[in-house]
């Protein structure tokens, strides 16, 4: 029985491999479209819970700022990845000064916390770099990848059920995997991939690529004082800033005039 289960897992794993936009091999037990469907459910549940706790920012100055930045980034992203024009792009600003974080799920549903904006005193260019990075996660199917990792863990923990009803297990585990994908960290390879894609998105939107460097230097300086969630799983901030700095000349050539992209009509969740 154990041998049979092992063969099933190997067959599923081999058949589920795909390639990211940068050519990296990805495990995909869940399709990107399924990730979008399940992510929408997880996102709505998360936002509704935040609304009940009165944790969604309603200050129109903050809302307008984030709307403008993310709107330009989405314009850039949809030009680079045309399939994302059909996504239901939205962003929530979460009032939580102790949380230094931001994320974007499959299908373009985003969130950014006041802890990262105010705690690090981010400029517009630096906010653009953070959100460009998070948007890159969605464009590179990292949500589906994280869900697939969660699914693989779930399959391993329920081996007996998997041997009997593999398809049913995958279906029943999709919703759980989507919820876990909000908490399960990306791999370091995924983070590095999103750094490059995200910086290009922000640069093409008209934001300074140098801000990617200053952003991570701020993260490094903040260190344990703010205990940013990014630093627990991402490559070290110092190394990251050095890598991104090497990309600056290449990125500058993408938008030599520094022209701002048009503002995409992103939905603000308030």
pLDDT > 90: what percent of the chain? 47
Show me where the domains of the chain are located: 33-142+184-269
pTM of the model: 0.78
> How confident is the model over 118-140, as pLDDT tens digits?
999 999 999 999 999 999 999 99
More reliable by pLDDT, 187 or 59: 59
Predicted local confidence at residue 13, as pLDDT: 45
Catalytic center residues: 134
> If you write DSSP's letter for every residue of the chain in order, what string do you get?
-HHHHHHHHHHHHHHTEEE-TTS-EEE-SS-HHHHHHHHHHHHHHHHHHHHHTT-B---HHHHHHHHHHHHHHHHHHHHHSGGGGGS--EEEEE--TT---EEE-TTSEEEEEHHHHHHTT--HHHHHHHHHHHHHHHHTTHHHHHHHHHHHHHHHHTHHHHHH-HHHHHHHHHHHHHHHHTTSPPPHHHHHHHHHHHHHHHHHTT--THHHHHHHHHHHHHHHHH--THHHHSPPHHHHHHHHHHHHHHHHTT-TT-PPPP---PEEE-
> How confident is the model over 77-121, as pLDDT tens digits?
999 999 999 999 999 999 999 999 999 999 999 999 999 999 999
């Amino acid at each position: 029985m154990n041998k049979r289960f092992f063969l099933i897992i190997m067959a599923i794993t081999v058949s589920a491999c795909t390639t990211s936009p940068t050519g990296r091999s990805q495990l995909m037990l869940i399709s990107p479209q399924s990730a979008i469907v399940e992510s929408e459910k997880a996102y709505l549940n998360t936002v509704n819970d935040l609304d009940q706790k009165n944790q969604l920012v309603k200050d129109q100055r903050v809302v307008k700022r984030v709307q403008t930045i993310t709107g330009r980034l989405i314009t850039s992203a949809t030009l680079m990845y045309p399939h994302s024009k059909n996504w239901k792009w939205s962003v929530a600003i979460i009032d939580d000064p102790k949380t230094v974080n931001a994320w974007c799920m499959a299908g373009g549903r985003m969130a950014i916390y006041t802890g990262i904006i105010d705690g690090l005193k981010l400029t517009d260019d630096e906010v653009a770099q953070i959100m460009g990075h998070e948007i890159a996660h969605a464009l590179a199917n990292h949500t589906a990848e994280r869900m697939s990792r969660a699914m693989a863990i779930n399959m391993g923990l329920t081996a007996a059920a998997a041997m009997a009803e593999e398809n049913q297990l995958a279906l029943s585990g999709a919703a759980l995997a989507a919820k876990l994908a909000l908490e399960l960290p990306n791999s370091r390879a995924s983070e590095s991939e999103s750094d490059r894609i995200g910086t290009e998105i922000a640069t093409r939107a008209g934001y300074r690529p140098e801000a990617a460097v200053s952003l991570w230097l701020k993260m490094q300086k903040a260190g344990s004082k703010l205990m940013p969630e990014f630093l627990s799983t991402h490559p070290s901030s110092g190394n990251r800033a050095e890598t991104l700095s090497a990309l600056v000349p290449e990125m500058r050539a993408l938008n030599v005039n520094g022209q701002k992209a048009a503002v995409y009509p992103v939905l603000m969740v308030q």
